[in-house]
Amino acid sequence: MKQPKAIDLFSGCGGLTLGLSQAGFRVVGAVELDPLAVETYRANHKKVFVWPDDIRKVSVAAVMRRLRIKRGQLDLLAGCPPCQGFSTMTTLNGRIGQDERNDLVFQFLRFVRGLRPKAVMMENVPKLAKNHRFKTLRAELKKLGYEVRHDVLDAANYGVPQRRRRLILIAGRRMEIPFGEMADKQVTVRDAFKRMGKRAKAGLLHNLPENRSEKVKKLIRQIPRDGGSRLDLGRRRQLKCHKNCDGFKDVYGRMAWDDVSPTITGGCFNPSKGRFLHPTKNRAITMREAALLQSFPPGYFFPTNRGKAPVAQMIGNALPPEFIRRHANKIFNHLLAEKN
């Protein structure tokens, strides 16, 4: 069997592509709108043809011509339509119907209709599962002859050192494909950081400076190591804005060495956004540490010339490669069995 081909839609900085490649797929094309994500993607996946454009402007026919793929030949179409419109914070604020990105799910469906791949994989936030758009997507895939399976899974059970509940859909054309194999044990923060290596420790991604007030620095020093929280300080020593706040209890919390990390988000460099303090050092995790917690290898390139926040956003939005690898490996094996 020739190396199976895949296309990555809404590719971001390349976490999905990396996982597919690790599972044995040859990713031949990708679509991504954000310029910084495109720059990062191209630096790490030099052989993939990238359309740096709004997917709504990308013709399926043009993709097929450029990649020399006929309808029905593509092995796997995978992607993660932007999920901010379905995020927990958005739904808490009652804005789920107002974000135009919500309808990008149907752009994914447009590519399925045009390409008719042998298999489909889509990942997103859990809230999408209850939305009418997802129900329509599933119904349309079934009409096209796909056996569809979906569930909300925690990446921590699939070798990723963080809690990250995600909706995953896998569909096979006239074949049922199960989810990937779960890991024998969870990978911890300690395990992830051990992968750093001297070169990564010396790199700029790991050494982007922090800018904190003396008051905040003092607060961080007082928080107990290895899983401690601002709540351990008692009311008197907490910041004024925290004293009357009953929610967001992970804010200014430390990660624990022998547990998985919390979900890595675009705010992971800021302790006011969650439990993003290093287990023992008096700082937030670095961007290299955040990437390791997303299961990126220590040598994966992220540009730092635009500062920390844009890099954190890319890393937080990325799909964990190891989570993808495990599910893609199952798809790979089923495609191989069909060939034989």
Q: So which residues are the catalytic ones?
A: 83
Closest C-alpha to 76, from 1, 173, 145: 173
Burial of 236: CB neighbours in 10 Å, binned 0-12, 13-18, 19+: exposed
Interior/surface letters 317-338, b for 16+ CB within 10 angstroms, e for the rest: bbbbbbbbbbbbbbbbebbeee
Closest C-alpha to 284, from 269, 265, 304, 264: 269
Burial of 83: CB neighbours in 10 Å, binned 0-12, 13-18, 19+: buried
Q: State both tokens at 131.
A: 């939305």
Contact 248, 230 (CB under 8 A): no
Contact 264, 245 (CB under 8 A): no
Kindly calculate the radius of gyration of the chain based on its CA atoms and give it in whole angstroms.
21
The strand pair at 119-124 and 76-79 is best described as parallel
Closest C-alpha to 15, from 327, 325, 321, 297: 321
